[in-house]
Amino acid sequence: MQSTPGNNRRWRTIKSAIVSALSFIAAILVVAPLGFVFFHLVRSGAGAVNLSFFTQLPKPVGEAGGGMVNAIVGTAELLGIAALIGVPVGVLGGVYLAEYGSARSNRMLRFIADVLNGVPSIIWGVVVYGLVVLRFKSFSAYAGGLSLGLIMIPLIMRTTEEVLLLVPNGYREAALALGISRWKTIVHIVMKTASKGIVTGILLALARVAGETAPLLFTAFGNRFWNHSLREPIAALPLQIFTYAISPYEDWHRQAWAGALVLIVGIFFINIVVRLLTRNPAFRVL
C-alpha cells in the first residue's frame, strides 16, 4: 500500500489515457463511414439530381437524360401498402404484449419477434414470392408492399410494446378507478400518452424498409414505366438503383448515384422528423 503511491497513480493515468484514446478511435470508426458515404454520394450523385430526375420516366437504353419519377412514386406507394399492413398488426401486437399477454405467452412472442427481426430481408421476399407472386402469377405492388409490411411488423410491435411499458401504471390505475373500461383506458389514456413513441417506432420502421432492395427483387420486380395497377410490377428507388448500378452505361451509373442520394436524404429526413418529435418537452415517454 504505502510502497509506491506515485508510480501507482502515474500508471493509472496512463491506463486511463490509453482507454480514452481507444474509445475515441472506436467512436470515430463508427461515425466515419456515414460521413464517407454521404460525401461520396453527394460528389457522385449531386450532378445528376436535377428537375428531370424528379419529373421524367427513365429513357430507353442509349438515350441520355430521363429520371426516376416512377421509382420515387413507386417507393411511396410500396411504403403506403407496407404501412397499411405493418402498422395495425404491429401496433396491436405491441398493445397485446404490453397490456394483455400473460408473462409466459409474452416471453414466447417477444422471442419470436426478435427472431423475425433478425431474418434476412431477402427471405421475406422469397416467402412472399411463394405465397403471393406464384399464386397470382404476377409480380405486383401488393406483393412488394406485403414483403416490406412483414418486415415492419416485428419492428413496430417491439417499439410499441416498449413505449407502452414506459407509461407509468399510475395512469392506468387512475383511469380504471374512474370506471373507464379497460380498452378505453388503453386507447385513450395509455396509447395517447405514448402516442409520440408509437409514431416514432412507425417512422423508424418505415425508414428501415424504405431502403430494402432484396425483398422487392422477387415481389415488386421493378418497372421502367408508370405502374397503372397495384396488381402489376412496380418501380422502387432501391430496385432502380440496383438495376442502374450493375448496368454497363455511364449515364445510368450517374443516375444510380443520384437515386442513392435521394433515397438517403429521404431516410435522413424521416430520422430528423423522429428527432424533432422526441425532443419536444411535452414528450414524456421514451
Partner 1 sequence: MIETAVQSPNSMSQQVTDQGTHLPTVAPTEVPAFKVQNLSIWYGQKQAINDVTIDIPSKTITAIIGPSGCGKSTFLRCLNRMHELMPHTRVEGKVLFQGEDLYGAGVDPAAVRRRVGMVFQKSNPFPTMSIAENVTVGLKLNGLRKRSLLDERLEKSLRMAALWDEVKDDLKKPGMSLSGGQQQRLCIARAIAVEPEVVLMDEPASALDPIATMKIEELIGVLKSNYTIVIVTHNMQQASRVSDKTAFFYVGKLIEFNDTKTLFSQPKEKKTEDYITGRFG
| Residues within the interface to partner 1 (CB under 8 A) | 102-103, 168, 170-182, 184, 188-189, 192-193, 195, 282, 284
Q: Which is nearer to partner 1, 118 or 179 (CB)?
A: 179
- CB of 278: closest distance to partner 1 in angstroms? 15
Residue with cell 472506436: 26
In angstroms, give the least distance from the CB of 178 to partner 1: 4
If the CB atoms of residues 26 and 103 are measured against partner 1, the closer one turns out to be 103
Beta-carbon contacts of residue 90 (< 8 Å; ≥ 6 apart): 152, 153, 154, 155, 156, 157, 160, 201, 202, 205
Least separation in angstroms between residue 173's CB and partner 1 is 6
Single-letter residue type at 151: I
Which lies closer to partner 1 via its Cβ, residue 135 or residue 284?
A: 284
| Least Å from the CB of residue 185 to partner 1 | 8
Q: Tell me whether residue 40 or residue 192 sits nearer to partner 1 (CB atom).
A: 192
Residue whose C-alpha is closest to residue 285's, from 178, 115, 137, 167: 167
C-alpha cell at 250: 455511364
Minimum CB separation from partner 1 for residue 114, in Å? 24
Nearer to partner 1, 144 or 201 (CB): 201
Contact 207, 184 (CB under 8 A): no
Give dist(CA 239, CA 38) in Å, integer. 20
How many angstroms separate the CA atoms of 121 and 207, rounded? 14
